[in-house]
Amino acid sequence: MKLPAFFIAHGSPLLALEDNEYTRFLARLSEDLEVPRGIVVFSAHWDSPEQLLTVDEQHETQHDFYGFPEEIYSLTYPAPGDPALSRRISELFKDHNLPHQPVLGRGLDHGIWVILQKMFPEANIPVVALSVDSLRSPHEQYQIGQMLAPLREEGILLIGSGGLVHNLRLLSEKDQPEAWAQEFDAWIAKRLETWDLPELFAFEKKAPHVREAVPSYAREHFVPLFYAMGAADEGRQAGLMIQAYQYGTLSLNCWMLD
């Protein structure tokens, strides 16, 4: 079976405790998929100049945040790893001369387990976590995703986990999203739907409100999109499955890439 790739916004860690439109969507999303043999996630919360990947047989749960209700720190997502899948990823990277390093004992950060807890609550599907490099060019990030495209034919689900509009300094208590956040998401959506790589790769110069949506200190949340897109380069089809907002500006969306 060939599985699609996804870009999935992981929002706030509080999503792990919430029951809302977005979390219910994530639960339904897994129901509509063939059960993957494994899950590979490029996480915004693992930003490194060198490509890193987990090689654990069993993952710990990172609570890599502070100031949240005590309840959230008791949540765990004890998913297994898959050393054989990690070796397969390493082989694909070697085939394309990409320097990379295995990492043992890192655990799954909240950019990974918060969404997987909703999608696959039994935590019984092996997971391999991959770092992103927010300082690489979008084209390079896309190429790394391309390297892993064969995994989709092998029953592996590829996910880029981040956030297209993710600026924690501009969150508010408003019920309605800010117009600038919607305009940025709409600009990205139009170019994703036509797979307009030149425009998307130049988003920092061309997208409206880009400094608010993708501040320099949070660029790592946007770039998982390019890794996920690269894994779907052959088909170049993008579909927006949900668009929601929290705190006025925090964009919660999911793109299926096939």
pLDDT band of residue 221 (cuts 50, 70, 90) is very high
Query: Which residue, chain included where needed, has tokens 């060198």?
Result: 50
pLDDT band of residue 9 (cuts 50, 70, 90) is very high
Residue 53 near residue 151, CB atoms below 8 Å: no
Q: What is the mean pLDDT of the chain?
A: 97
C-alpha pair distances (Å), 248 with each of 31, 160, 171: 29, 23, 6
Position 240 scores a pLDDT of: 98
Distance CA 53, CA 193 (A): 30
> What number is the average pLDDT over the span 47-70?
97
| pLDDT of 173 above 90 | no
Distance CA 207, CA 162 (A): 18
**The domain containing residue 124 runs over which residues?**
5-257
| pLDDT of 204 above 80 | yes
Task: Using DSSP, state whether 21 is helix, strand or coil.
Answer: helix
Position 32 scores a pLDDT of: 87
Residue 158 near residue 152, CB atoms below 8 Å: yes
> What number is the average pLDDT over the span 141-145?
98
Task: Using DSSP, state whether 79 is helix, strand or coil.
Answer: coil
Residue 242 near residue 22, CB atoms below 8 Å: yes
Residue 254 near residue 161, CB atoms below 8 Å: no
Burial class of residue 205 (count of CB atoms within 10 Å of its CB; 0-12, 13-18, 19+): exposed
| Total count of domains within the chain | 1
CATH number, residue 31: 3.40.830.10
Which parts of 40-123 fold into alpha helices (H)? 83-95, 110-119
> What number is the average pLDDT over the span 54-72?
97
Task: Using DSSP, state whether 164 is helix, strand or coil.
Answer: coil
Distance CA 166, CA 251 (A): 7
Position 199 scores a pLDDT of: 98
User: pTM of this prediction?
Assistant: 0.97
C-alpha pair distances (Å), 145 with each of 92, 150, 231, 251: 11, 10, 5, 23
Q: Which residues of 207-233 are buried (b: 16+ CB within 10 A; e: fewer)?
A: bebbebbbbeebbbbbbbbbbbbbbbb
pLDDT band of residue 174 (cuts 50, 70, 90) is confident
Query: Which residue, chain included where needed, has tokens 């993957």?
Result: 36
Q: Which two tokens stand for residue 91?
A: 């082989």
Distance CA 79, CA 60 (A): 8
